[in-house]
Structures are given as structure tokens and as C-alpha cells.
Structure 1
């Protein structure tokens, strides 16, 4: 066998082994797995030639499908990991992040895009929508680890729970504003009635209803099928989590609903059934492994894109906006949203700071640019790329020591 094929297979083997080992090797170090693969991608595409161009600007359709797959699998994992039953009071921190922090963040980012970068309305709204969601893919170091079998165990600390549940829902809630940006770019006239009726009300409702329906049917099949042959929990087949993910997402999209919302709601609905079953952990572990492989591929390619010209022509204003999003906009919007909530002062600061930007942001830009023409497309890619790379480095360095500090303080407060 000749050509680049053997090299690609060998590299894939090394990357897969690294994806299995690195989370354990780096568990106590201020370095995250995405940081390693970002650097590996940049180094590989700098040293090894010739390699395909990984720039997302020129391969937006491939980027769109890869990131779409990664996000929906991550959303399934996030929903299955949550041990706390859904409720208004139990999830009050989540509702604050979605209802206050996210709108404030979007408004601030849109204003930055308009005033600092000189974007038009469509470009500013797209930038805001892309940088609004907390990413469910790259935030694993600060999220809930896995489902537990004890129904009385509510051991999820408020910071991890808030970041996991927020990431699960706000990826879907950013979609209406992505459609708003597309409408402003393509039909600047009479867009408001259609946007409100279809892109906000119908798509959200359809995503929610499909997620509830699919989750209810699947949990019946998993745990309560009349025959053990069809009771999938009895066979402990982990790959069924992919069936749940694709089914919820596909049906929601066919109904013109938000598939991201459907997948997360489906996962939470499945998790609500038979909370004492160990099958939830089996499903979650399988999803986590698939998600890790996809994350490795996407971040490796992102590193390659950085090395081969993603930031070509970057301006100082774009760097400033990306830094403001990470260091000012999200932290202050988070503190405002969580003020007087159930989080303590330490948890409030941690949740506000770790608004990780990542694969979801890349997806929204790719989606919008496939659907409409934006004059600021290159600048949007650069700012979002800067924010994502900055988030990988900043949050990757700080996640482990900060969460360990929070855990130690929590242990001291709860110890007799």
C-alpha cells in the first residue's frame, strides 16, 4: 500500500490511544486534552506536507456536519449525566443562566460587533448567536461526571450542575438568533412574523415535544418492554445511546424543530426513568467515548486551520472583542444572572467564568454561512476562532485547579 493512507491510519491509531490515556494522565495537571490536540494539529499541519487544507472557511459543509454530529452526541451525554430531577426550584440556577445571562451576553456581543468591529445588523447578530452558548463538548472538565444509581444521591455540586444543564439547553436556544441573523442577511424586509411564529415558537415547541415523546418511548423500551428480548437495559448495549440521539434529532429536524433541544430533552427524559438502573451509566460511557473521538478530530483540525491561515488578516479589534467575550462579557453577565440565587459566592464566580466557547460556536457560524450571505463572514470566522482557541487555552489551564479548589472547600463545609 502506497501513499498517505498508512500514515493516516497510524496517526489515527496514535490519536485514539492518546484520547483514551490523556484524560487520566492529565487529570491533575493544568492542561486539558483539547489543548494537547490543538497544539498537535498546529504542529502537524506546520511540519508535515502535503496535507489537505483544514480551513473551515473553504470547507464549511464538512465543518458543519462534523460539528453537528459532535454537538448532538455531547448533548445526549450531558442529559444522561444529570442526576438532579428537572424542576423549577431545583434548576433555578439553570433558568437564571438561560433567562438572564444568555440574553445579556448576546446583547453585549452584538453591540461589540456593531460598534467595535463595524458589523452590520446581520453580522452582529450572528456573532452574538455563535458566541452565546456554553459549549457542551469542551466543558467536560467542569461538568457533571456521570449518572449515579442512588436516587437519593444529589451529589452534583451547583457549579458542575449549572454548567452542564446550561450547556445542554442554550445550544438549542441560540438557534432562533442564528435564524434571525440569516433572515436579516437574506430577507431584510418582512421577516419578523415568520421569525416569531416559526423560528421561535414552532421550532422550540417541536424540539421540546419530540424530545419528550422520543425519551418517553425509549425509556419504556429500555426498562419496561414486556419481553426481555426487547428490554434493552437487560442487555446493557451502550451503542443504543446513538440510536436515541439520532432518532430524536432526526425526527425533530423533519418536523422543522430544533434537534439540539430534542436530543437534550430526550436524554433528560430517559434519565428520569428507572433512576436506580446502571444502564444510564452504560449509555453515558458509550456516548462519552464517541464524543471524545469526535472532539479529538475537530480540535486537531482546528489547530491545523490556525497553523494554515485561519487568522490571516486578523485585526487588533477582533482580538480585543474575543478577549472581552471571554474575560468580561460572560463573567459579568453570569454574575448578574446568578445574583441572589442558590449559588454561593465561589460557585457563582466559577460558573460565570467557565462559559466555555467551542464546537457549538463553530457549528453556528458554519450553519449560517451555508444558509445566507454575510459580508462579514471572514471577520466572524476570525473572532469566533480566536474566542474558541482562547477558551481552550484559558479554561483548559484553569479548569483543573479551580474545580479541585472548589471541591476542597465543599468537603470542608460538608465534613462533620
Structure 2
């Protein structure tokens, strides 16, 4: 007789497959129309299915103990970071790390150091009774920017129409490099905690031994070895793949999956030797496409983005299920009224002031708006959770023996509560920033229409309504009621008029006093850091305005809503035709009947 088999495996696999399928049905709507990231949506889904809610995903029941849950989360984070960073390295143009080493050195050097110190000072100020060394360890966990969440702002229609290609590459490169370079900041604090945290009562050696280990093990064995290993493995992989492809030994499927398998190989082998597998994956990905051959061959392929999407959805669902919500409210280290201001201060002061201070020395950041954008979007996500459990794993080694160290008794709880809370804040805030920014730009249009509608009936052609100011939204002008019945209806329906054409038509049919009334002052309502899309930018398949010919520098800057607009909505012509951005013809699509919203139909033959 058939019986239900409600095992954990069946429930988990069915739930994961069902959620990915349901999200896939509206994925374009969520990501390209509403600009909602799959990370935020999957995190909310994981929270909904977690033990405090629907109790369909039960991590503790799967693993058995809290320590095993932490080990699974650490391993899962390593896997996702490894794959993501190889793909990030593959996305970069040829020899990118060599040609753009100056801006990269600024971002992973002084900026990253200031991010670490600023976050540590905020933690030290907000967490009661925490030593500064412990605050340095907590700050190091959230110093790297997350490559998984950074991909949200460098992919898709929003990025294509609002972020220059060179700036996208810089964000990708920085998030990949500083993920692996989080080890020196973290172990600088951890080694000092180990050797001088308790005054040398249990472990002798002092600060001298701690700094020796930091330079020798962290910089020498962990960082430098991983860079060499990643470069050698990436170069050998590229050479072998070209050799096999030239002799027609490799099929298309194996060719496309090669970067993914390379990431798995590096994560496993670097893990075995105890080096920095995260940094090695990024270096290997960049070396793998050093001559741009593999990147150009797979540029139009969707296999790697598909794997990327599956990993992102899965890991953020897992994070949603393992977030320690109860510890945010009930813990022995920091009350919630301190935790919330800490999250706000970290998001504002952790990165933005330092990027803004040096943006003039980074050629990819051409405008103040771009500096604010790059400074604000330094998300905290998978990399922070990875370093969180690396820290907890290291602290467990300090408690071995009959007498556990009292000075680090509360540090694992501090790290767990603070880092998880900051990661949740970053995922939510950065995941909603683009939709809210778009809303802040388009909301003034509705506001202006409401003002025009509520402006009241007119007093006649020569009354005070004739001098009432109009409101400009983009290139359109909305007039209030009062001129005439027909004009009032037009203003109420929100159909603005071109000023020049309106004035011309009125000059032919109305006296001069009415023409002067039509030239009332025009006030602009609202604004946004996000510039407006060009005409037709919101159409599916529209070519991005930042598209340029390969090898040419970008000579034009995108103007905001107030730059270069005329009242009649026409755009100024470019004086230098040689520097005008060239839009390539739409690519010819494969011979299939399905056309997705982000595909441009081929021109008729």
C-alpha cells in the first residue's frame, strides 16, 4: 500500500526545485522590471521556509549539531565563492589586472584598510565591553565587498544603461581581489588575540611571534602562494584547453563547463594545502582568460550565468534558514537598540567616505554621482559569512584543554551576532536601493500631476492663474487649471505640452497677454542620483548607451536628468562625430521560435 515518504531529502529537494521553478516564471519581471535581486528574494524565501516560520527547511535536523551546521555553511560559502570568483576573473578583459593595477591598488590598499579600521571602531564603540583587538577581528569579517551581491549591480538592464563598462569591470575586479585579501586583516587580529589576548598566560611568544606568523603564514603561505598557484593553474588550464580545442578533442558541453570545473579543482586543492582558495580562484580565472580567448568564445553563452543563478538562489535560501534571528534579540553581548544603529552606521561610514575621498585618482570614476554609487554599493554577504566561520573555527582552537580561555569566551557570539546582522542589513538595503532609487526618480511625475490637478479652477485669462508656475518633468511641462476649460482638462489628464509648440499655437489664436502667460516660470520637481534612461531604454533588447567599440576609451559621460535637456524634449547634437558612441547592429538570433524579453529581434532580410 502506498505511503507518504516525508523524508528530509524529499522535502528539501522538492522545495528547492519548486522555488527555483516559481521564481523562474517571473524572473525577468523581478530582476529587469522591478530591479529586485535574486539574492534578496531567495533570502526572504529561506526565511519563510525556516524553522521559525514554515519549518520546511530544518538545518539543525539535517546536520545534528550547531557545529556541523556551521561547518556546512562554511563549506557551502567556500564553494559558491570559488565558482563566483573564477567566473568574475573570466569576465574581465584581457590583462586587466596588469593594465589597471593602479586603481586596483588604491581600492584594495588604502580604501580596504580604512574600511577595516572604520568598521572596527564602530564595533568597538557600539558593542559594550569589547576589547579593541576583538573589534578588529569583527571588522575584518565584513571588510571585503561581496562578489555575489556585486554582480547584482553589474549585470542586467540597469547596469547596461546606467553603469559604464569600465566601471563595471572595476567593481567586479575589486570584489574578487579583496575577498581573498581579507585574510591578512583577519589574522592580524586573531594572532594577536591568541598570543597577547590573555597576557600570555596560556600561550607564550607575545606580539613578536604573532607578527612572525602573520608575515610568514598569512602573507607568505596563504596569500603569495595562492596567487602563484592560481596563476599557474589558470595558465596551464588555458593552454591545455586551447591545445585540445585546436585538435578538436573537446566538445561544446565540456568546453563551456571548463571554468566551473576549474573552480572546483582549485577550491579542493587549495583547501587541502591550507592556502587561500578564494584568492586563488580569482587569479586563476583572470589568468585563464588572459588573452581574452575563452571570454570571447563564451560571451554569448548562458551556461555559466545559469550555474551562477542556481548557486545564488540556493545559498541565500540556506542563509535565510540559518540566520540566528533569536540571537539578535536575546544575547549577552549587544542589545538590539545598539545593534540597529550599528548596522546603519556601518552601511554609511564603512566605505562611502573613503571611496569619495580618492575617486579623483581613479579614472573609471568620472563623476561625483559615480563616486557615491561605488562608495555606497560595497555589499556584505557571502564573503562575510565565510570569514565569520573561519573566525569561529580559529577561536575553537583556543579553547582546547581543561581550562578554556576566559578572554575569548564571548567573542564567537559577538562575531556571530554582529556579522550576521550586518549581512542581513546589507542584503536588504542594497537589494532595495535600486528599486527605491527608481521610485524616487519617477515619483515626482505623479506628484506634479497631482499638483496640477489640485491647483483649482481658473479666474479667467487675465487672473492670477495666468502667472501660476508650471512644473517640468523630464522634457514635459504640466500646466495648472485656470487658463481655459480645455487646458484644465489637458493638465488634469497629465498630458503636458511642448512649450515652444504651445507658445507658437497660442500666438496665432490668442492675444499677446496669453502668450506671456504661457511663458510662466517652470520649476523642476524631485531628483535622483540615478540618471534617467535614454529614449527607448526601457524597451526589451534596447542597446545600452555605454556600448562602445572595443579598444576605444569612453569620451562621453552620461548626463543626469538636468544635463543637456531642452524644454521641447529634443537632445543636443554631438559636436564631434568621431567621438560619438556607436551602437552595434542587433545580433542575429538562433533559429528557434522562442524569443526572450532581453533579446533583440534580428533585422528582416
Q: Report what 2:20 is aligned to.
A: 16
Q: Report what 2:316 is aligned to.
A: 299
2:134 matches 1:116: no
Is the 8 Å Cα contact of residues 54 and 304 (structure 1) preserved in structure 2? no
Query: By how many angstroms is 1:352 displaced?
Result: 0.7
Equivalent of 2:42 in 20, 24, 37: 37
Between the aligned partners of 2:124 and 2:136, the Cα distance in structure 1 is 9
Query: By how many angstroms is 1:21 displaced?
Result: 4.4
Query: By how many angstroms is 1:325 displaced?
Result: 1.3
2:425 matches 1:390: yes
Shift in alpha-carbon separation, 1:87–1:264, aligned structure 2, 3 A:
closer
Q: Secondary structure at the match of 1:191?
A: helix
Q: Report what 2:372 is aligned to.
A: 349
Equivalent of 1:359 in 382, 397, 400: 382
Between the aligned partners of 1:83 and 1:156, the Cα distance in structure 2 is 14
Is the 8 Å Cα contact of residues 89 and 173 (structure 2) preserved in structure 1? yes
Between the aligned partners of 1:352 and 1:236, the Cα distance in structure 2 is 39
2:348 matches 1:327: yes
Q: Report what 1:101 is aligned to.
A: 111
**CA-to-aligned-CA distance 1:295-331 (integer Å, 9 cap, x gap):** 2222223223347524232432222222211122211
2:58 matches 1:52: yes
Q: Which moved more, 1:53-62 or 1:38-47?
A: 53-62
Query: By how many angstroms is 1:244 displaced?
Result: 0.9
Report the number of matched residues.
406
Shift in alpha-carbon separation, 1:95–1:18, aligned structure 2, 3 A:
farther
Shift in alpha-carbon separation, 1:277–1:40, aligned structure 2, 3 A:
closer
Structure number with greater Rg is 2
Q: Secondary structure at the match of 1:138?
A: helix
Between the aligned partners of 2:348 and 2:94, the Cα distance in structure 1 is 30
Between the aligned partners of 1:298 and 1:87, the Cα distance in structure 2 is 29
Is the 8 Å Cα contact of residues 42 and 304 (structure 1) preserved in structure 2? yes
Is the 8 Å Cα contact of residues 78 and 267 (structure 2) preserved in structure 1? no
Query: By how many angstroms is 1:107 displaced?
Result: 0.7
Between the aligned partners of 1:183 and 1:50, the Cα distance in structure 2 is 40
CA RMSD of aligned residues (A): 3.0
Between the aligned partners of 2:116 and 2:139, the Cα distance in structure 1 is 5
Q: Report what 1:149 is aligned to.
A: none
Q: Secondary structure at the match of 2:6?
A: coil
Q: Report what 2:328 is aligned to.
A: 311
Q: Report what 1:62 is aligned to.
A: 72
Between the aligned partners of 1:158 and 1:401, the Cα distance in structure 2 is 25
Between the aligned partners of 1:94 and 1:57, the Cα distance in structure 2 is 39
Q: Secondary structure at the match of 2:148?
A: coil
Shift in alpha-carbon separation, 1:108–1:47, aligned structure 2, 3 A:
closer
Query: By how many angstroms is 1:169 displaced?
Result: 0.4
Between the aligned partners of 1:131 and 1:243, the Cα distance in structure 2 is 28
Shift in alpha-carbon separation, 1:54–1:385, aligned structure 2, 3 A:
farther
Q: Secondary structure at the match of 2:42?
A: helix
Q: Secondary structure at the match of 1:384?
A: helix
Structure 2's unaligned 5+ residue stretches are 158-162, 197-205, 397-407, 439-528, 535-544, 547-555, 559-573, 575-579, 581-605
Q: Which has the higher contact order (CA 8 A, sep 6+)?
A: 1
Is the 8 Å Cα contact of residues 31 and 397 (structure 1) preserved in structure 2? yes
Shift in alpha-carbon separation, 1:225–1:298, aligned structure 2, 3 A:
closer
Query: By how many angstroms is 1:249 displaced?
Result: 3.1
Shift in alpha-carbon separation, 1:242–1:191, aligned structure 2, 3 A:
same
Shift in alpha-carbon separation, 1:356–1:82, aligned structure 2, 3 A:
same
Is the 8 Å Cα contact of residues 212 and 266 (structure 1) preserved in structure 2? yes
Shift in alpha-carbon separation, 1:88–1:274, aligned structure 2, 3 A:
closer
Is the 8 Å Cα contact of residues 136 and 168 (structure 1) preserved in structure 2? yes
Between the aligned partners of 2:430 and 2:145, the Cα distance in structure 1 is 12
Query: By how many angstroms is 1:394 displaced?
Result: 1.2
Query: By how many angstroms is 1:196 displaced?
Result: 1.0
Shift in alpha-carbon separation, 1:123–1:298, aligned structure 2, 3 A:
farther
Shift in alpha-carbon separation, 1:86–1:180, aligned structure 2, 3 A:
same
Query: By how many angstroms is 1:272 displaced?
Result: 1.5
Q: Which moved more, 1:254-263 or 1:51-60?
A: 51-60
Equivalent of 1:28 in 21, 24, 33: 33
Shift in alpha-carbon separation, 1:53–1:295, aligned structure 2, 3 A:
same
TM-score (structure 1 length as normaliser): 0.87
Query: By how many angstroms is 1:240 displaced?
Result: 1.9
Q: Secondary structure at the match of 1:339?
A: helix
Q: Report what 2:241 is aligned to.
A: 222
Shift in alpha-carbon separation, 1:172–1:407, aligned structure 2, 3 A:
farther
More helix by share: 1
